[in-house]
């Protein structure tokens, strides 16, 4: 995750959680999410020296009803822990690995054979993470790396796995109003290539959206309620569209930016979004983190955006754990839903209106583990 540093007044997770069973009270707070026809995710970062083992993490996620996870480091222990767990992974290739993949089809083939093929449930691969935000990275290597990974997948019958690359929202140089969204000039050329690849392969455009950083950088101009999805937030109008939260406005700025490059119908995946519970920064506290993530989940599962009201966007909450070795400001180490000892940082109680065929209202309040399900327990590949 890289902070979005734009000071513009923008008026504007990895674990999919589905309703597989109602949770029962077993003591202790837990995180639970419900929805129909849409998904929410949690990112499993490991920049820490005090986290549970991967197998313990798989058991934790399974007990909470988690069915998808985004990971940043494809290693043998991670792949083995998640194999046959019933959890779908979104896997990342590190920024350091992008040049290797671009320069060598054999390297891409070997990576797929080692980390993807043994796992029965991988839904997407992110080539790099906010790769273009670091000017030290060679932008010309990004799309060739994506194409080599795609060819490697197709060679073993896994071409259905979506390949893309997560962008930082900071690469949107103009985001107010949302309809004026535009990519920064220095990334337009490679972004057009990324979008061409995504459309050609029926993939998704990945982007990290953090209203927190916009609010932190400009708290006197951006309403906290607007950043947190609160119902008393101010309403912003743009081109006949009504915006009641910053998340929608930022997402629609991305849609507008893609449209300006000729790819306005491309589907999005929000590969990171979250709010820190501590760290001393403006707005970084437990109450705001709980409010944002509660409201984010309910909003994503119920609604599209004003620009694309019928599109449900798969969204990953950052992050599963607080990570004590992350660089940057103190809040960077406090985005977790859980402490490393697996205690929840705060309680999440969600009620989501279902859009199922029965058109009934579904309410789930999760305050403990759901009954154990063998399909969600880790079964390491020996």
The catalytic site residues sit at 130, 272
Sign of the torsion angle spanned by Cα atoms 65, 71, 74, 78: negative
């Amino acid at each position: 995750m890289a902070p979005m540093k734009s000071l513009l007044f923008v008026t504007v997770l990895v674990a999919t959680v589905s309703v597989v069973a109602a949770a029962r009270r077993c003591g202790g707070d837990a995180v639970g999410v419900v929805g129909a026809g849409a998904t929410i995710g949690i990112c499993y970062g490991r920049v820490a020296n005090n986290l549970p083992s991967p197998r313990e993490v798989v058991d934790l996620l399974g007990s909470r009803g988690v069915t998808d996870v985004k990971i940043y480091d494809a290693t043998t222990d991670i792949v083995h822990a998640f194999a046959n767990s019933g959890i779908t992974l979104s896997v990342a290739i590190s920024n350091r690995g992008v040049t290797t993949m671009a320069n060598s089809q054999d390297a891409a083939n070997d990576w797929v054979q080692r980390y993807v093929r043994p796992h029965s449930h991988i839904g997407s691969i992110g080539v790099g993470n906010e790769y273009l935000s670091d000017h030290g990275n060679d932008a010309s290597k990004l799309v060739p790396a994506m194409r080599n990974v795609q060819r490697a997948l197709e060679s073993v019958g896994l071409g259905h796995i979506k390949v893309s690359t997560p962008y930082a929202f900071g690469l949107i140089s103009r985001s107010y109003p949302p309809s004026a969204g535009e990519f920064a000039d220095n990334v337009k050329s490679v972004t057009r290539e990324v979008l061409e690849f995504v459309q050609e392969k029926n993939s998704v455009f990945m982007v990290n959206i953090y209203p927190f950083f916009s609010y932190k950088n400009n708290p006197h101009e951006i309403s906290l309620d607007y950043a947190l999805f609160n119902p008393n937030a101010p309403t912003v109008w743009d081109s006949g569209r009504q915006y009641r939260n910053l998340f929608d406005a930022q997402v629609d700025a991305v849609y507008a930016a893609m449209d300006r490059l000729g790819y306005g119908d491309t589907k999005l995946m929000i590969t990171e979004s979250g709010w820190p519970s501590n760290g001393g920064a403006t707005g970084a506290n437990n109450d705001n983190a709980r409010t944002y993530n509660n409201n984010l989940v309910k909003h994503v599962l119920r609604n599209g955006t004003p620009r694309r009201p019928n599109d449900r966007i798969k969204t990953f909450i950052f992050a599963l754990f607080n990570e004590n070795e992350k660089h940057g400001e103190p809040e960077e180490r406090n985005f977790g839903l859980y402490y490393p000892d697996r205690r929840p940082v705060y309680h999440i109680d969600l009620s989501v209106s279902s859009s199922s065929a029965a058109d009934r209202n579904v309410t789930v309040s999760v305050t403990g583990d759901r009954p154990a399900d063998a399909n969600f327990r880790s079964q390491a590949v020996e």
